[in-house]
């Protein structure tokens, strides 16, 4: 029987290498006339040829080195569950609409699970020149950007009253769902410092980890949207979850500094942010 390496350090190194390669492809290979290759949940939920190319690069890179692993990719680059107990959860281009329009807030996100437990994650943000990464129990870090090339340990912001919290959110691509989310945001705005909408769940979660946001919430995320960002936020000291008593999931994802998390989560529950 082939011995399978479950070393989290090894898995994290591979995730970082794959994310860096995909980020370079997306940054340097973006066609001048980039267009929509397909749509998903609605006509404005788009896939570009570069999403597909980046996922192909990542999965081929990892399969070549880890042929027994399982893979879950947003754009369909999925194998069977695999036999090693390791699964890679891949969003090759989080923030596709930003990328399509030439906005800088997009990222490559790769999460790593071992026997169903999230153990590591990487979020590569090429237009910032930043790489965020974490492994369970060992903290979260960033290199590049204003931090320089040395790894800097991430810490979420100190607790603030909800009324003084800067909170990010995102909106669904389905018009009726988006309209309800806008109503929720309208109720949230007067109860916090302000709202931001960046367009990349992975980056928003990393910005909570880095102390650039006090909190973030969104309904409708998929496993690949939060697999890496969730562990990075948690390892930076933030709390993450969904509805009260539940983990982050498609109904609701909340990430925030301690002290902000519970009142924000309670407010979102009161406002029905978890349903359409």
Q: No. of H helices and E strands in the chain?
A: 7, 14
pLDDT band at 228 (very low <50, low <70, confident <90, very high): very high
The predicted pLDDT at position 49 comes to: 87
Question: Would the CA dihedral through 80, 86, 89, 92 be positive or negative?
Answer: negative
Find out whether 16 and 142 touch, Cβ atoms under 8 Å. no
Q: What is the DSSP code (8-state) at residue 5?
A: P
169 CB neighbour count, 10 Å cutoff: 22
Q: Which residue has the tokens 């980020």?
A: 23
How many residues would you count in the chain?
276
198-202 average pLDDT score? 97
The rounded percent of the chain whose pLDDT value lies above 90 is 79
Q: Model confidence at 247, in pLDDT bands (50, 70, 90)?
A: very high
Question: Which band of pLDDT confidence, cut at 50, 70 and 90, is reported for residue 1?
Answer: very low
Mind listing the pLDDT tens digit for each residue in 146-171?
877 789 999 999 989 999 999 999 99
In the predicted model, is pLDDT for residue 172 greater than 90? no
DSSP classification of residue 157: P
pLDDT computed for residue 222 by the predictor: 94
- Residue 48 bridge partners (DSSP): 36
Range list of H helices, 164-222: 175-188, 201-209
Distance CA 190, CA 273 (A): 16
Measured distance CA(99)–CA(112) in Å, rounded: 24
Query: Does residue 130 have a pLDDT over 90?
Result: yes
Tell whether the model's pLDDT for residue 192 goes beyond 80.
Answer: yes
Mean pLDDT of 91-98: 94
Rounded to an integer, what distance in angstroms lies between the CA atom of residue 236 and that of residue 5? 27
pLDDT score of 202: 98
Residue 265 above 50 pLDDT?
yes
Residue 100 reports pLDDT greater than 80: yes
Own/partner pairs, 15-18, CB within 8 angstroms, 24+ separation:
15/88, 15/110, 15/111, 15/112, 15/120, 15/121, 15/122, 15/133, 16/122, 16/124, 16/131, 16/133, 17/61, 18/57, 18/58, 18/61, 18/62, 18/110
The pLDDT score that the predictor gives to residue 19 is 98
Domains assigned to the chain: 8-153 (3.30.540.10), 162-271 (3.40.190.80)
Cβ atoms of 270 and 162 closer than 8 Å: no
- Percent of residues, the chain, with pLDDT higher than 70: 93
The pLDDT value recorded for residue 55 is 93
Is the pLDDT at 77 greater than 80, yes or no?
no
Check if the beta carbon of residue 176 is closer than 8 Å to that of residue 193.
no
């Amino acid at each position: 029987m082939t011995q399978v390496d479950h070393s989290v350090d090894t898995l994290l190194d591979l995730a970082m290498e794959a994310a860096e390669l995909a980020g370079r492809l997306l940054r340097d290979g973006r066609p001048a006339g980039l267009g929509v290759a397909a749509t998903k949940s609605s006509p404005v939920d788009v896939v570009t040829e570069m999403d597909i190319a980046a996922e192909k690069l990542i999965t081929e890179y990892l399969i070549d080195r880890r042929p027994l692993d399982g893979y879950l990719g947003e754009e369909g680059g999925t194998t069977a569950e695999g036999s090693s107990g390791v699964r890679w959860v891949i969003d090759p281009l989080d923030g596709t609409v930003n990328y399509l329009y030439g906005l800088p807030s997009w990222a490559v996100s790769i999460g790593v699970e071992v026997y169903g437990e999230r153990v590591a994650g990487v979020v590569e943000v090429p237009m910032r020149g930043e790489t965020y990464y974490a492994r369970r129990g060992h903290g979260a870090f960033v290199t590049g950007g204003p931090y320089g090339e040395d790894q800097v340990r991430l810490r979420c912001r100190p607790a603030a009253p909800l009324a003084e919290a800067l909170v990010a959110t995102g909106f669904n691509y389905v018009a009726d769902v988006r309209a309800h989310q806008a109503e929720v945001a309208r109720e949230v705005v007067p109860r916090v410092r302000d709202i931001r909408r960046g367009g990349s769940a992975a980056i928003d979660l990393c910005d909570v980890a880095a102390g650039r946001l006090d909190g973030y919430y969104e309904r409708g995320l998929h496993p690949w949207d939060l697999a890496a960002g969730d562990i990075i936020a948690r390892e930076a000291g933030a709390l993450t979850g969904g509805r009260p008593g539940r983990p982050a999931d498609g109904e609701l994802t909340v990430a925030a500094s301690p002290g902000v998390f519970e009142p924000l989560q309670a407010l979102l529950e009161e406002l029905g942010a978890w349903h359409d």
